[in-house]
Chains A and B, each alone.
Chain A
Amino acid sequence: MIVEKIVEIKNISFFYGERQVLSNISISFAKQTISAITGASGSGKSTLLSTINRLWEEVGGARVEGRVKIWLEGQEIDVYERQISLPELRRKVGMVFQIPNPLPMSIYKNLTLPLKMAGIKNRDLQREKVESVLKDAFLWSEVEPRLHEDARNLSGGQQQRLCIARAMILEPEVLLLDEPTSSLDEGAVFEIENLLLSLKERCSLLMVSHDLAQVRRVADSAVELVAGSLQ
């Protein structure tokens, strides 16, 4: 069986100032699967993830060497090409963080913000998409009566599902997940894992996790990072 690639990382090395965090990493990830990157704290898992959507550039004092290729809508894109539009790239490569980070606004506004930023201003369409992603995130019945309340009032698990819904509203082809359940209780972890499994059909998921049991439960493949190198 030929496995279609979605992301290919080639000879990536990453430096924070003088400190090398990743050493010459080459790896590819298959389309419409859940690929896990495991490793101990400080092994460079999250950094590796941030080289795919170039989010590391938001922090000063770092540099990267190597290439990352990504296949979006069937087209091969060199992530580190000069002409690439970062906002466009990040709309196609969504990201969910370790600690849920709803923005200080209502649940509804949290979900319509990415749409507005992508130029989707039609309110009916926005409403439709909000309802759809909230249903996909198994959150609709819980938040429907309070869509206009502050998103930060939700529980930790609900906040994380909202963040996944927010990342999914732009229908990304790749979803990067940086230890999405590490700050949640057992019940919430189970809900998120079910959600991730259901998303696999629509996009490719790259998940950082140090929880090997979780990796066994949800991931189709896994690689281990040890001190910035692939094991």
Chain B
Amino acid sequence: MSGTLQVVFSGRRLLFLVTAGGVFVTLSILVFMIVLGLPLFTSNSFSLILTQDWAPDRGFFGIFPFICGTLAIVTLSLLLAFPLSLGNAVLIHLLLPPVAAKFLHRVVKMMTGIPTVIYGFVGIFLLVPFVREWFDSGSGMSILSAALLLALLISPTMILVFVESFAAIPKSQVRAVAALGGNLRQKLIYLYLPGAQNGILTGLLLATGRALGDTMIALMVAGNATAQPESLLDPVRTLTAHIALVMAADFDSIEFKTIFACGIILYLWTATLTLTLRFLPYGVLKSRLNRGLS
């Protein structure tokens, strides 16, 4: 076997090992959580944990309010961040003069590197008092405060991915639409948004993953109340915050076991989201192309 072929084969083997290692670690995490949470599954209490309220003093160890809290914060933050990020990406890629666009792009890049705890500080000292004063209700630590801050946290990731997707659209197509008399809005509707749909979905996926997995903002700003939330101004505890709070104070009790249920739910949500979005764009694009509608 020639030297070049040997390098190719060993390179392939190395890539295979790295990939297999990644898959193994990912699956191991799931297995680890299932094994450690096994007492929950075997005692038939898993469904109770998923549906009951959290009241350990009365023997209720349900994480349902935390599931609701997590979904409320993540959904609201995505609803706030998505249009903001899309608008920013359009601003950077299409509207601003090159110098200003470059500056804003750098600012956004820098924002991705700011530790979450800094956002948390800003939230506690600026946002929470503002929400408290503005709505004249409660402590200000609430779904709304956490969602606003989380929107700020996840926006840079989305903006960068959206800008990259816009930039990947061939210049020849941009010039074609411009030469046909397309204005900015039309370029966006007929070229950029359809052309960048894979990137937009990817950005949304990454942002959703980041919002689901964030712990610090939820811990610092959401209020950590264990009651079922009834309004956006109610304090809530998220699944990640629950894991962090229980782990810090306990290690062998039913309360402690619930964190594995939280972990499994978070894992399955993220995995489902990833798999859905990985296969969806291809399917959508393919069917649209077949119908000539892309």
**Nearest chain A residue, comparing its CB with the CB of B289:** A150
Contact of B175 among A58, A89, A94, A109 (CB under 8 A): A58
Contact with B along A104-127 (1 / 0, CB 8 A): 111111000110111000000000
For A94, what are the chain B residues with a Cβ–Cβ distance below 8 Å?
A: 179-180
Q: Could you list 24 examples of A-B contacts with CB < 8 Å?
A: A53-B179, A55-B175, A58-B178, A60-B98, A86-B183, A87-B182, A88-B181, A89-B181, A90-B181, A94-B180, A101-B170, A101-B175, A103-B176, A103-B177, A105-B194, A105-B293, A106-B291, A106-B293, A116-B190, A117-B177, A117-B181, A148-B291, A148-B292, A167-B180
Q: By DSSP majority rule, is chain B's interface helix, strand, loop, or mixed?
A: helix
- Contact residues of B between 75 and 126, Cβ < 8 Å to A: 97-98
Q: Say whether B174 faces chain A, with CB atoms less than 8 Å apart.
A: yes
Q: Which of A99, A104, A109 has the most CB of B within 10 A?
A: A104
**Nearest chain A residue, comparing its CB with the CB of B177:** A103
Does B293 contact A87, Cβ atoms closer than 8 Å? no
**Nearest chain B residue, comparing its CB with the CB of A151:** B292
How many A residues are at the interface, by size bracket?
A: 35 or more
Q: Say whether A95 faces chain B, with CB atoms less than 8 Å apart.
A: yes
Measured CA separation A225–B176 after assembly (Å): 25
Measured CA separation A163–B139 after assembly (Å): 62
Nearest Cβ distance between residue A102 and chain B, in whole angstroms? 8
Residues of A near any B CB (own CB < 8 A) = 53, 55, 58, 60-61, 86-91, 94-95, 97, 99, 101-109, 113-114, 116-118, 147-150, 163, 166-167, 170
Does A109 contact B178, Cβ atoms closer than 8 Å? no
Q: Say whether B173 faces chain A, with CB atoms less than 8 Å apart.
A: yes
Nearest Cβ distance between residue A3 and chain B, in whole angstroms? 27
Measured CA separation A125–B183 after assembly (Å): 22
Q: Which of B175, B177, B291, B292 has the most CB of A within 10 A?
A: B292
Does B292 contact A109, Cβ atoms closer than 8 Å? yes
Does A117 contact B180, Cβ atoms closer than 8 Å? yes
Measured CA separation A58–B190 after assembly (Å): 17
For A91, what are the chain B residues with a Cβ–Cβ distance below 8 Å?
A: 180-181
Nearest Cβ distance between residue B240 and chain A, in whole angstroms? 40
Contact of B191 among A89, A103, A167 (CB under 8 A): A103
10 A-B pairs with the lowest CB-CB distances in the bound complex, closest first? A106-B292, A148-B292, A91-B181, A95-B179, A87-B181, A90-B181, A101-B172, A114-B180, A101-B176, A117-B186
For B98, what are the chain A residues with a Cβ–Cβ distance below 8 Å?
A: 60-61
For A58, what are the chain B residues with a Cβ–Cβ distance below 8 Å?
A: 174-175, 178
Given known contacts A60-B97, A104-B294, is B190 in contact with A117 (CB within 8 Å)? yes
